[in-house]
Amino acid sequence: MTDARNLPSRDLSEKRLKQRHAAEARFKLYGQLAIVIALGFLVVLLARVVQQGYTVFWTHSITTSVYLDPARIDRADLEGNNFDYLAAQNLLKRLKVQDDALGLASGEAMDLVSRDLGYRILGAIKDDPKVIGTTLTFTVPVKANADLYYKGEIERSTPETDRKLSNRQLDWLDRLEAEGLVRSHFNSDFFTNSDSTEPEQAGVLGAVVGSALMLLVAAFIAVPVGVLAAVWLEEFAPRGRLSGFIEVNINNLAAVPSIVYGLLGLVLFINWLGFPRSAPLTGGLVLALMSLPTIIIATRAALKAVPPSIREAALGMGASRTQTVFHHVLPQAAPGVMTGIILSLAHALGETAPLLMIGMVAFTPGLPESLASAASVLPVQVFIWENAAEAAFHERTAGAIIVLLVFMILMNATAVILRRRFEKRW
């Protein structure tokens, strides 16, 4: 330890220090970069969904009056009448456009107004046959492509062959708008309608109800079974080969691809047990089996987090095992259990693949009548619409995603709040 060594080693260590601090700064930068990338993806994803989907929340309606020409209406077979054609001719008349012999113009005009108009006219006549011969005024949504034009997504600048609407149709639309017959408003139909082959009439209500039913079924089965199973495994099961096997088994189940659960549902529930296809009951059962391991694992983790001292305290007081668990351990773990349950149900809510396996891709207009009747669910609705050919469905896909994400974020937020509020440090 001579003084001679001091100087060089001091230089060295200063140089080293500089290097070390630089390395430190670099390392931190990597971390920040990773966060920025991850959050960047999130922002882009959400922004993209919103950008593609926000337009779905308003739509355009047209107010048109239809003269119910008794000559053109066959009273014997009301359903056989083509009221849409009638309305389209009325519209053309209003636009002072002469229909051609082939009725091509009427045909094109028909493509501007929702088919709903025909049903409305039919309904009006059925309600009161006396209206035939009068002129009635209806307000109905415009056809999806017309709506897109109003929203600026179909542009006149694109060559006519590349777009869904002809120049003539665009002219008509412009004129209708100029005459104040077209009104833009909040698209409540999107929330009150179910799936439809017509984009402008397709809504998410059926899917939302279907999802809710299915989630209820799943929760009703998976939550009690999962929590109680976890309680048994964590608190009662004799530690040994059997419980070790069950533990491994459950951990594996949690990581089994969800599509495999779909196969299970398909074979076990539908083929062997004769459950109905596409039904919330079957879907709920599949999702219940799928969330069971996650609920068990989350519950076990929450139970594990309860310090053993609490158990010892209760046992030492002369409480039985069951009393210990149900009086102390489970209440202590409740927030953690709730969080786990909500998160796994939120996950189940967004699950698609297993539902495809049990036939939930079927087209189901209207609301499910019972747990056993065919229904659609939100994520599958997204998948179906995404596959649809019409461009107008893309908007609806994004819209449905927004609805789905809102539900999911609400559930996640509940979980986060629960966890925050009850987070206990031991």
Partner 1 sequence: MSFTLAFALLLAFSVGVWWLGRRRASALAGGERLHSLPGYYGTWVALWTGIPAALILLLFLTAGPRLGEALIAADPPAAVASLPSETAQAFWNDAQSLARGEPTTAIQWTPEQRAALEQKAEQARQYNGFSAFAALALAGVLALGGFLLAWPRISPTLRARNQVEGWINIALMACSAIAVLTTIGIVASLLYEAMRFFASVPPLDFLFGLQWQPQIAMREDQVAAKGAFGAVPLFAGTFLVMIVAMCVAAPVGLFCAIYLSEYAGRTTRGVIKPLLEILAGVPTVVYGFFAALTVGPLFRGFFNWIGSWLAEGPLDPLGQYLMAVQNEMALTAGVVMGIMLIPYISSLSDDIINAVPQSLRDGSYAMGATKSETVKRVILPAALPGVMGAMLLAISRAVGETMIVTMAAGSQARITANPLDSVTTVTRQMVELLTGDQEFDSPRTLAAFGLGLTLFGVTLVLNIIALRIVQKYRQAYD
Partner 2 sequence: MAAEGNPLPHDTQLRPPAVAAHTPVANAGVKIHCQGVSAFYGDKQALHDISIDIPDRAVTAFIGPSGCGKSTFLRCINRMNDTIPGARVTGRIEIDGEDVNARSVDPVVLRSRVGMVFQKPNPFPKSIFENVAYGPRIHGLANGKAELEAIVEASLKKAGLWDEVSDRLHQSGSSLSGGQQQRLVIARAIAVQPRVILMDEPCSALDPIATARIEELIDELRRQYCIVIVTHSMAQAARVSQRTAFFHLGQLVEQGSTEDIFTNPREKRTQDYITGRFG
Judged by the rule CB under 8 A, the positions of this chain that interact with partner 2 are: 1, 3, 5-6, 9-10, 12-13, 16-17, 20-21, 238-240, 307, 309-310, 312-320, 323, 327-328, 332, 424
Among partner 2, partner 1, none, the one that 350 touches (CB under a kind-dependent 5 to 8 A) is partner 1
Q: Which is nearer to partner 2, 305 or 413 (CB)?
A: 305
> Which one, 6 or 51, has the nearer CB to partner 2?
6
Burial class (CB within 10 angstroms; exposed 0-12, middle 13-18, buried 19+) of 372: middle
Identify which of residues 133 and 307 has a Cβ nearer to partner 2 in the complex.
307
Residue 361 binding partner per list partner 1, partner 2, none, with a CB distance cut-off of 5 to 8 Å that depends on partner kind? partner 1
Q: How far is the CB of 315 from partner 2 (least distance, A)?
A: 6
State which residue, 52 or 323, has the beta carbon closest to partner 2.
323
418 touches which of partner 1, partner 2, none (CB within 5 to 8 A by kind)? Answer: none
Q: Which of 32, 27, 279, 58 is nearest to 147 (CA)?
A: 58
* Least CB distance to partner 1 at residue 199 (A): 16
In the complex, least distance from residue 301 CB atom to partner 2, rounded to whole angstroms: 18
Binding partner selected for residue 389 from partner 2, partner 1, none, CB under the kind-specific 5 to 8 Å limit: none
State the minimum distance, in angstroms, from the CB of residue 366 to partner 1: 19
Q: How far is the CB of 19 from partner 2 (least distance, A)?
A: 9
Tokens of 306: 């309860």
Question: Which does residue 305 touch among partner 1, partner 2, none (CB within 5 to 8 A, set by kind)?
Answer: none
**Residue 21 vs 185, nearer CB to partner 2:** 21
| Residues whose CB is less than 8 angstroms from the CB of residue 240 and which lie 6 or more positions away in sequence, other chains included | none
CB of 305 to partner 2, least distance (A): 12
| CB nearer to partner 1: pick between 181 and 375 | 375
Min dist. Cβ of residue 215 to partner 2 (A) = 32
386 binds, among partner 2, partner 1, none (CB under 5 to 8 A by kind): partner 1
CB of 356 to partner 1, least distance (A): 6
In the complex with partner 2, which residue's Cβ is closer, 26 or 156? 26
Q: How far is the CB of 160 from partner 1 (least distance, A)?
A: 24
Burial of 23: CB neighbours in 10 Å, binned 0-12, 13-18, 19+: exposed
Partner that binds at residue 296, options partner 2, partner 1, none, CB closer than 5 to 8 Å by kind: partner 1
Decide which of partner 1, partner 2, none touches 208; Cβ closer than 5 to 8 Å per partner kind: none
What separation in angstroms does the CA of 1 have from each of 6, 9, 10, 86, 190?
A: 8, 12, 14, 107, 83
Query: Residues, the chain, total?
Result: 426
Q: Give the Cα separation of 287 and 128 in Å (integer).
A: 48
From residue 229, alpha-carbon distances to 219, 297, 303, 304 in Å are 15, 10, 12, 14
- Nearer to partner 2 (CB atom), residue 65 or residue 323: 323
CA distance 179 to 187: 22
Q: Report the residue number, 166 or 323, with the smaller CB distance to partner 1.
A: 323
